Structure 1
C-alpha cells in the first residue's frame, strides 16, 4: 500500500461501507491501522516525531467525516484541541482535503453555537501569520457536505491546506511534497505563537 492508495480506498469505499456496521469492517481497519501506517511511513522521511491516528467513527456509528491525522505531541495528541494536520474525507466523497486545522471539540465546548464563528475568525488571523505558505497551501476554505456540529466545526477549524480529486491521489511524489509543506506550516505555526491571536 502507499499513502495515495490508502487515501483513495477511503474515498472510494466509504459510502458503501457505511451501509454495514463499522465493527470488524475491513475499511474501518484501513482507517484505524493501514492508512495511519502509510502516513507514518511518509512522515518518517519528512520530520517527526508525530502521533498518527485515523478515525472511522466511534462505537457502532460511522463518522459523517472520517479523518486521518498527524499530531505533534508537544502541541496536542487529540483532534479535540490544539492544532494538527489532518486528511478529511467529505460526505460527497469526490475528494479529500489536507488541512492544517484547529481542534474543534474544545471550541464547541467553550463557544457553543458560536464555535464556527470563533474558529473562522481565528483561522483568518492564523492564515495571516502563515502568509508565506499561501502559494504551497492555497485552499483557504473547505466544504465537507455534512450538517452537524462536528463537520461544520471542521470546516470552520480549517486554517490552510490542499484539496485532491481522485485522480490526484495517484501521484505519490506530489502527496509527499504537499505533506512536507503541511508539516513546514505546522512547525511554523508553533514557532510563531501557535493559536494565540491578538
Structure 2
C-alpha cells in the first residue's frame, strides 16, 4: 500500500462501508492502521515527532466525515483543540482535502452557535500570517457535503490546504511533496504564535529568487 492508495481506498469504499457496522470492518482497519502507517512513513523523512491517528468514527457509528491526521504533540494530541494537519474525506464528491486546521470541538464548547464565525475569522487571520505558503497551499475554503455540527465545524476550522481528485492520488511524489509543504506551514504557524492573534506576521521564511 502507498499513501495515495490508502487515501483512494477510503474515498471509494467509505460510502458502501457505512451500510455495515464499523466494528471489525476492513475499511475501519485501513483508516486506523493502514493509512495511518502510510502517513507515518511519509512524515518520517521530514524529522520531528508526530502523533498520527485515523478515525472512521466511534463506537458503533461511522463518522459523517472520516479523517487521517498528524499532530505535533507540543501543540495538541487531539483534533478537538489546537491546530493540526489532516486529510478530510467529503461525502458529496470523490475527493480528499489536505487541511491545516483548527481544533473544532474546543471552539464549539467555548463559542456555541458562534463557533463557525469565530473559526472562520481566526482562519482568515492565520491564513494572512501564513501568506508565504499561499502558492503551495492555495485552497482557502473546503466543502464536506454533509450537514452537522462537526462537519460544518471542520469546514469553518480550515486554514489553508489542497484538494485532490482520485486521479491526483496516483501521484505519490506529489502527495509527499504537498505533505512536506503542509508540515512546513504547520511548523511556521507554531513558530509565529500558533492560534494567538498577533498585530503583525512574524518570522516569515525567505522566498527563493
Same fold (TM > 0.5) = yes
- 1:74 is aligned to 74
Displacement, 1:47?
Answer: 2.6
- 1:159 is aligned to 159
Query: What secondary structure is seen at the aligned counterpart in 2 of 1:80?
Result: coil
Counterpart Cα distance in 1 of 2:25 and 2:48:
30
Deviations 1:60-90 (A, max 9, x none): 1000000000000000000000000000000
Q: How does 1:1-198 map to 2 (within 5 A)?
A: 1-198=1-198
Displacement, 1:48?
Answer: 2.0
Counterpart Cα distance in 2 of 1:92 and 1:52:
26
**Aligned-residue CA RMSD in angstroms?**
0.6
Displacement, 1:197?
Answer: 1.1
Structure 2 gap ranges (5+): 199-209
Indicate the structure (1 or 2) with the bigger Cα radius of gyration. 2
Counterpart Cα distance in 2 of 1:135 and 1:112:
33
Query: What secondary structure is seen at the aligned counterpart in 2 of 1:81?
Result: coil
Structure 1 gap ranges (5+): none
Counterpart Cα distance in 1 of 2:127 and 2:20:
39
Displacement, 1:35?
Answer: 0.4
Counterpart Cα distance in 2 of 1:60 and 1:38:
25
Displacement, 1:94?
Answer: 1.0
Displacement, 1:45?
Answer: 1.1
Deviations 1:11-54 (A, max 9, x none): 00000000000000000000011000000000001232100000
Counterpart Cα distance in 2 of 1:4 and 1:49:
22
Deviations 1:75-111 (A, max 9, x none): 0000000000000000124100000000000000000
| TM-score, reference length from structure 1 | 0.99
CA contact (8 A) 1:101 1:158 kept: yes
How many residues align? The count is 198
Counterpart Cα distance in 2 of 1:47 and 1:109:
34
Counterpart Cα distance in 1 of 2:93 and 2:15:
7
